[in-house]
Amino acid sequence: MDRRQFLTLSPDRNTRTSTAFARTDTGMAPYTGNWGTLQLIHLLKRTLFGATPANINALKSMTMQQVVDTLLTAQPDPLPPVNNYGIDTTGVTPGATWIKAPQGDEMLERKRMNSYKAWWTGQMVNQQASIHEKMVLFWHNHFVTETKTVNDSRFIYQYNLTLRQNALGNFKALTKAITLDPAMLVYLNGYLNSKGAADENYARELHELFTVGKGPDSHYTEEDVRATARVLTGFRVDRTNIVSLFDTTQHDITNKLFSGFYLNKVISGKTGTDGATEVDDLLNIIFGQPEVAKFICRKLYRFFVYYDIDAATEQNVITPLANIFRSSGYDIKTTLNALFISEHFFDPLNMACLIKSPVDFCVGLCREFGVTFPPDYPGQYTAWGSIHDHAAAMLQNIGDPPLVAGWEAYYQVPSFHELWINTDTLPKRNKLSDALISAAGFNNLRIDVIAFADKLSNPGDPVALVNDSLDILYRVGVSVNLKDFLKNTILLSGQSPNSNFYWTNAWTAYKASPGDAALKNDVESRLQALYKYIMDLSEYQLS
């Protein structure tokens, strides 16, 4: 399938006279338009993994600001992952957590990594009405580590916790925490950085990928990279206590000079334990550069709004949003709030214009349809692991992005999110949704179509059932002909278009006698056909 087909499914762009010069001319002014189901679901789809009927019903009576406040509420740390893999040579019993246990051999570490990935998928599936889980994924794509390189499951869990605890806090604080995080110290060789042989690996990525980026106005130099590497000498990892520490004997105590891009600032070399505080001096220098805010706001924009940043968007959205980010002291929540209540975010041209990432597709599918997971932890981990593996097969393996730059769909010009869809991944998406919607399901997971329909406003009315279903599952309007097909051909089984009672009677009869297998099969088979058809169309891939 041509990936660009998806872009033709979004709202008509020809109705705006400004599109000859810019994709949209809206900016960061507060949104004052209609606040209804369309806008609510758009907000939920972008900030959560899918918009469930329960989410919609719980939030639809709130104002826009109240909903945004709810979504930006940080969540407490979840219970840690546990041993779901059986024999553990370090003594961790089944059902107990391994996050503080001794490091295992290669085989055990692989089992723990799988446990970790399943656990993380479970956190996404069970997320509350909060952007927190999506921000953990966002920061994972920004401050990348890879499990296979770190090769210590305990460090990887601690890294996830670092992201989680700072996801909606202060970006500067998050950057420092990641700089000293044991997993990152291992991943980019920071733990090998010493005064006699400064390692520039992390220093380079700190500038290029994590803070000022490679934008047109970012002009850090090789001298800046070398000076940064010298600042960061001496940090080591403690594999017993699973923390980082500072070795004063391996720290470069000489002065570090930065380029004109950083105003020729100098960090005075410090001795003893004071050497560790040079990190704060370094971040003060970097974060004094306005490009930090612009770079991060561009990444937030591409993740939550749209991948293409034209000149008008740079001027009307990125620049003012970056100003908000800087003036707030790099407060993530303040910046996201400004974006999510802006006229630009609710511009019709920014709705139904993103292709769902594999994680968004797989997790969102389970959440929106209310897929029930096993109650016991072995069954849960197996099911969560299966969802993770499906997303990985579609090119998004959480825990192991392909490069230190993250997944290509978030940065690769000019295709960006179109890279998620190709002749291999699209059939895999359809295969997963087809399996879940089937009577047999797979791996003890199955969409209960009757339970889903029962959560809608009036499932006994075929017109309302189709409209409510499309409101939740699609982000783009569809033709009257398609709606008629879904109602008349599928729900009414080819009866007269005016025979709505055919479905109404079938639904009413089942609700009156839910234990009657024939009545249940009558409505269930048609609902399965309805939702299978909806999910197999291209529109379902859009967010």
Helix (H) or strand (E) holding 538: none
Which of 266, 286, 306 corresponds to the end of one domain? 286
pLDDT at 8 over 50: no
Band of the pLDDT at 47, cuts 50, 70, 90?
Answer: very high
- Mean model confidence pLDDT for the chain: 95
Q: Which two tokens stand for residue 120?
A: 């993380």
Q: Which two tokens stand for residue 283?
A: 């971040």
How far apart are the C-alpha atoms of 90 and 21, rounded to whole Å?
Answer: 63
pLDDT at 383 over 90: yes
Reduced to 3 states (helix: H, G, I; strand: E, B; else coil), residue 407 is coil
How far apart are the C-alpha atoms of 52 and 364, rounded to whole Å?
Answer: 9
Residue 154 lies in a domain: yes
Contact 353, 10 (CB under 8 A): yes
Distances 84 to 98, 115, 150, 152 between C-alpha atoms, Å: 10, 7, 21, 17
Distances 233 to 158, 226, 236, 259 between C-alpha atoms, Å: 22, 11, 9, 20
Residue 193 lies in a domain: yes
Token look-up 């729900």 returns 491
Which of 286, 310, 338 corresponds to the end of one domain? 286
Contact 344, 305 (CB under 8 A): yes
Q: What is the mean pLDDT of residues 421-450?
A: 96
pLDDT at 299 over 80: yes
Residue type at 131 in one-letter notation? I
For 23, phi and psi rounded to 5 degrees?
-60, -45
The whole-number pLDDT of residue 10 equals 45
Q: Which residue has the higher pLDDT, 314 or 11?
A: 314
Nearest residue to 233 (alpha-carbon basis) of 213, 210, 256: 256
pLDDT at 495 over 90: no
For the chain, percent of residues with pLDDT exceeding 70: 96
Residue 217 lies in a domain: yes
105-134 pLDDT per residue, tens: 999 999 999 999 999 999 999 999 999 999
177-197 pLDDT per residue, tens: 999 999 999 999 999 999 999
Contact 131, 336 (CB under 8 A): yes
Contact 452, 370 (CB under 8 A): yes
Nearest residue to 49 (alpha-carbon basis) of 387, 469, 363, 386: 363
387-420 pLDDT per residue, tens: 999 999 999 999 999 999 999 999 999 999 999 9
Residue 427 lies in a domain: no
Q: What is the mean pLDDT of residues 263-291?
A: 98
Token look-up 């630009």 returns 344
Residue 358 lies in a domain: no
Q: Which of 12-21, 117-126, 208-217, 290-299 has the lowest mean pLDDT?
A: 12-21
Q: What is the mean pLDDT of residues 460-476?
A: 96
Q: Which two tokens stand for residue 196?
A: 């006699």
Which of 286, 312, 327 corresponds to the end of one domain? 286
The whole-number pLDDT of residue 20 equals 46
Reduced to 3 states (helix: H, G, I; strand: E, B; else coil), residue 342 is strand
Token look-up 């800046």 returns 224
Band of the pLDDT at 100, cuts 50, 70, 90?
Answer: very high
How far apart are the C-alpha atoms of 98 and 90, rounded to whole Å?
Answer: 9
Q: Which two tokens stand for residue 106?
A: 């290669």
Q: Which two tokens stand for residue 39?
A: 């806008």
The whole-number pLDDT of residue 32 equals 98
The whole-number pLDDT of residue 21 equals 63
Sequence length of the chain is 543
How far apart are the C-alpha atoms of 224 and 4, rounded to whole Å?
Answer: 41
Q: Which two tokens stand for residue 480?
A: 């009257």
Residue 241 lies in a domain: yes
Q: Which domain holds residue 485?
A: 448-541
Nearest residue to 338 (alpha-carbon basis) of 371, 308, 293, 375: 293
Close Cβ partners of 384 (under 8 Å, ≥ 6 residues apart) = 118, 119, 121, 122, 125, 373
How far apart are the C-alpha atoms of 179 and 190, rounded to whole Å?
Answer: 9
Residue 352 lies in a domain: no
Q: Is 184 exposed, middle or buried (0-12, 13-18, 19+ CB in 10 A)?
A: buried
Name the domain count of the chain.
2
In terms of DSSP bridges, do strands 243-246 and 256-257 run parallel, antiparallel, or are they unpaired? unpaired
pLDDT at 283 over 60: yes
Calculate Rg over the CA atoms of the chain.
25
The whole-number pLDDT of residue 386 equals 98
Cα 39 to the center of its chain, rounded Å:
20
Global confidence as pTM: 0.95
How far apart are the C-alpha atoms of 162 and 159, rounded to whole Å?
Answer: 5
In terms of DSSP bridges, do strands 266-267 and 256-257 run parallel, antiparallel, or are they unpaired? antiparallel
